[in-house]
Amino acid sequence: MADFTPTERTQVHRLPKRGVYDREAVYRILDEGLVCHIGFVAEGQPVVIPTGYGRKDETLYVHGSPASRMFRALGKGADVCVTVTLVDGLVLARSAFHHSMNYRSVVIFGKATVVEDAAAKREALRVFTEHVAPGRWQEVRQPSEKELNATTVLALPLEEVSAKVRTGPPIDDEEDYALRVWAGVLPLDLTPDTALPDDRLPKEIAVPEYVRRYTRKRG
């Protein structure tokens, strides 16, 4: 697949060296993230709502209730901006001014379409479940027809997309390197704690491997 072509909206103007249009690099960020922020315009006002998602090939899927105002608006073809952000660390510089964060973010512009076909919808839900916990889909009860009908799945093509990435140490003003203040990076990571079995789970059902060794790291 070809890399993304910057458009007027996805061209990174400020700090252009942070702009990333490499398709595989963008996909790795999307595959590592858990939550996206969906932006849309409702009666002229911006609205930003967090939600889960999944990716397959060149499509991002989100799902929700048919009763949700957001999903109804997006299903009708409203313009949407979907942003995924991973925080990788605090960048602690010697001056307040040069403090920063290491991060990776992806911004997607476009219009979503409703996935109507039952098989395609089921596949999107598989993608969704596997995005959250790879290995999970095989183990759980599959969606019933009633559940499929109670779910709106939206597909957003990954066409107008860019990423921004900051990595590395603080960049201080030359004279500030002489200051006697600690400087560096504090890496941050979304990490799992011990799994909490449901109260009604029989004791003999062990925590599956994909939960015990859970990580969001990809590629």
CB of 26 to a copy of itself, least distance (A): 15
Complex with a copy of itself: residue 1 or 56, whichever CB lies closer: 56
How many residues touch a copy of itself under the rule CB under 8 A: the total is 92
Interface mask toward a copy of itself for 89-118; x: CB under 8 A: -x-xxxxxx-x-x-x-x-x-x---------
Q: Does 73 contact a copy of itself by CB under 8 A?
A: no
Phi, psi dihedral angles at 178 (to 5 degrees): -80, -10
Binding piece for a copy of itself, criterion CB under 8 A, among 18-26, 54-62, 113-121, 137-145: 137-145
Q: Does 133 contact a copy of itself by CB under 8 A?
A: yes
Q: Does 184 contact a copy of itself by CB under 8 A?
A: yes
* Of residues 155-174, those binding a copy of itself (CB under 8 A): 169-170
DSSP string, 30-90: HHH-SEEEEEEEETTEEEEEEEE-EEETTEEEEEE-TT-HHHHHHHTT-EEEEEEEEEEEE
Q: Does 145 contact a copy of itself by CB under 8 A?
A: no
* Of residues 1-60, those binding a copy of itself (CB under 8 A): 9, 13-14, 34-35, 37-41, 44-50, 52
CA proximity to 157, closest of 20, 59, 44: 59
CA proximity to 127, closest of 31, 51, 191, 192: 31
Q: Which residues pair with 48 in a beta bridge?
A: 39
3-state secondary structure of 154: strand
